[in-house]
Amino acid sequence: MQNNNYWAETLKSALPIGESFDIIVRDLQIGGKKAVMFFVNGLVTGDTMPMVMSYLLKIKPEEMKDPTDASLFLKENLPFLDAQTDSQVESILKFIFSGLIALAVEGFSEVIIIDSRHYPNRGIEEPSKEKSLRGAKDGFTEAFMTNIALIRRRIRDPKLIFTSHTVGTATRTDVSLVYMKGKADEALVKKIADKLNSITIDAVSVGDQTITEHIIQEIGQKSFLGWLNPYPKVRYTQRPDVAAAHLTEGKIAIVVDTSPTVILLPTGIFDFLQDVDDYYFPAITGNYFRLLRAFNFIGIIFITPLYLMFAQAYVPVYDALKFFIPQGDFAISLFWQFILLELAIDGLKLASLNTPDSLGMSLSVIGALILGELAITSGWFIPQTILCMAVVALASFTQPSIELGYGIKFMRIFILIGVQLGAHLGATSFAAGLLGDSSISICAIGGAVVATIIDFISVATTKTLAGTSYLYPLMPFDGNAVKHLFFRTKA
C-alpha cells in the first residue's frame, strides 16, 4: 500500500526541481486532500490552466467518493477534460516533459494526466521547396498533433490508422506510423513498427533522417552498390495533400515530432517523378508536366557526357551542331571543367542556404561573376561547359526530390569518368595496336557504355523497403501501371 504522499514524493525526486527553472510545482487542496501539480512552464497553455484550476478547487470533500481511485475521480469530476491516469514513472515523466500536467492527489493509486499543452509553433504556410501553382497552400509544421490533424482532415476514413511510438532514450521523440488498413502491406507495417519500438539510440538528433537511417539499416534490401547506393529508399514531403495521396495508394507514412517533414515509403524511382501539380491541372497539362519531367530526368544524366564525347571528337558531329564545339586548346581539359563546375554549383547551393535574405542578391551577383565572365576570361572554363552545366542545374530543379537529384548527379559523374578512363585506355600503345587509329574513340564510347550499364544495374538491383523492384512497373513490366505512370488519366 502506497503512503499518502507516494506519487508526489516520487515525482519530486525524479524531476530536477530547483535546478531547472522551467519545472513548476504547485501545492493544492482538492476536496480536502493535499495534491501536487507538476508541469513545464512554456509548454502549458495559459487559456486552459485557469479553467483546470477553477474546476479542481471547486471539488468538495463529499464528492471524493473513493479516496484511492483516480479513475473514478476523473470520471466524476473532470469528464470534460482530455485526461487520463497513469502509474508508470517513465511515462508520467514523458507526459510532463511533453507539456501535459501531472496531478498527484493524496492517497490516489495513480497520477492524473491532464492535456493542456501548447507548443511554440509557426503557421501552416506552404513549404518553400514544394510550392504548387494551384491547390492547397498549407504545409506540415514542427508540431506533432498539427501534422496528424492535417492528414486526418484529408482522409476521413476509419481505416486510416495512426500508431504511437517513442524513439530515443534521451529525447523520447513522439513518432506515429500512419497507414490505411487493408491497403498497406501489413507485413511491412509490422516490420517498421517493431523497428521503431526497438530503436535504442540516445537521441533522435536530426529527427526524420535519423529514424530513416535506422529503418533502412534494419529492413533495407541489399543492392549492387551496398552502402554506396545513392538512390533514396524513402520520399520526404512537407505537403499534407501529397502524404494523403500516397496513403490512399497503400503506402506508409511516418510522422516525427519536431520535424515538418513526413516520411513516405516504400518508394520506387518513378514515385519521385510525380508532382502535386500533375493533378491540380487538366489532364493534358498534367501529362505535359509529367513528360517534361521524364525527359529532363534522362537529359540531366547524359547532357555533359555526350557533350564531352562530341567536343573531343569521340563521336562524329553533324555540321549544324559544329558551332557549339570549342575550337583550339584550353587551359583545363573539358572533363575537369565539368567536375569543377559540378563542385562549384553544389558549393553555391550550400552557400545560398547559409546566406541571409538581405545578402541573397549579393551572392547571386558574386556567383554570376565567378562562374561567368571572370571564369571564362581567366581561362578556367569555356562558355560551352558553363552553358551545359547551367542547363543541367536548371533541369534538375524540375525534380521534386533533392535526394534523387543527387543520385542522378552521381550517375552523370560516373559516366563522365567512364568516358575519360576509356579515352585514356584508348591512348595506350596496346589499345592503339589492337584497335588502330580509332582506339581512343572506341574506348571512350565503350567506357560510356560500360558506365551506363553499371548505373542501370545499380538501379535495377536496388530494392524498395518492401522488397519490390525499384524500377517497377518497368521491372517487372506492368503495362497498365506503366500507362498510369507516364500519362495522368484521372485526378
Q: 249-296: per-residue pLDDT in tens? A: 899 999 998 889 999 988 888 888 888 888 888 888 888 888 888 888
Buried b vs exposed e over 121-149: b needs ≥16 C-beta within 10 Å? Answer: eeebebbeebebeeebebbbbbbbebbbe
Is the pLDDT at 358 greater than 80, yes or no?
no
Question: Hey, is 309 helix, strand or coil?
Answer: helix
Q: 415-445: per-residue pLDDT in tens? A: 999 999 999 898 887 777 777 768 888 999 9
Is the pLDDT at 452 greater than 90, yes or no?
yes
> Whole-angstrom Cα distance, residue 33 to residue 67?
9
Q: What is the pLDDT of residue 41?
A: 86
What distance lies between CA 167 and its chain's CA centroid? 17
Beta strands per DSSP E along 144-227:
160-167, 173-180
Is the pLDDT at 65 greater than 90, yes or no?
no
Select from 71, 73, 1 the least CA-distant residue to 33. Answer: 73
State the amino acid at position 335 in one-letter form: F
Q: CA 369 → CA 67, 375, 376, 389, distances in Å?
A: 78, 8, 10, 16
Is the pLDDT at 206 greater than 70, yes or no?
no
Q: What is the pLDDT of residue 365?
A: 65
Question: Hey, is 105 helix, strand or coil?
Answer: strand
Q: What is the pLDDT of residue 107?
A: 84
**Whole-prediction pTM:** 0.82
More confident residue, 38 or 210: 38
Q: What is the mean pLDDT of residues 448-455?
A: 94
Q: What is the mean pLDDT of residues 221-249?
A: 82
Q: Which of 128-142, 331-345, 473-487 has the lowest mean pLDDT?
A: 473-487
User: Do residues 273 and 408 make contact, with C-beta atoms less than 8 angstroms apart?
Assistant: no
Q: What is the pLDDT of residue 485?
A: 72
Q: What is the pLDDT of residue 482?
A: 78
Cis peptide upstream of residue 473 (ω within 30 degrees of 0)? yes
First to last CA, the chain: 63
Q: 104-156: per-residue pLDDT in tens? A: 988 888 999 988 777 767 778 888 888 888 888 889 998 888 899 999 999 99
What's the order of all strands across the beta sheet hosting 101-105?
23-30, 33-40, 101-105, 111-114, 83-86
Q: What is the mean pLDDT of residues 80-89?
A: 83
Q: 394-423: per-residue pLDDT in tens? A: 888 888 888 888 999 999 999 999 999 999
Q: Give phi and psi for 111, each to the nearest 5.
A: -95, 140
> Whole-angstrom Cα distance, residue 6 to residue 336?
72
Label residue 2 by pLDDT band (50, 70, 90).
Answer: very low
User: Do residues 464 and 268 make contact, with C-beta atoms less than 8 angstroms apart?
Assistant: yes
> Whole-angstrom Cα distance, residue 32 to residue 28?
10
According to DSSP, residue 219 is labeled: H
Cα angle 291-297-301, degrees, rounded to a multiple of 5:
150
Which residues are 164's β-sheet partners? 176
Is the pLDDT at 86 greater than 80, yes or no?
yes
Average pLDDT over the chain, rounded to whole? 83
Please count the residues of the chain: 491
> Whole-angstrom Cα distance, residue 325 to residue 327?
7
Is the pLDDT at 363 greater than 70, yes or no?
no
Q: What is the pLDDT of residue 115?
A: 84
Q: What is the pLDDT of residue 421?
A: 94
Q: What is the mean pLDDT of residues 76-83?
A: 74
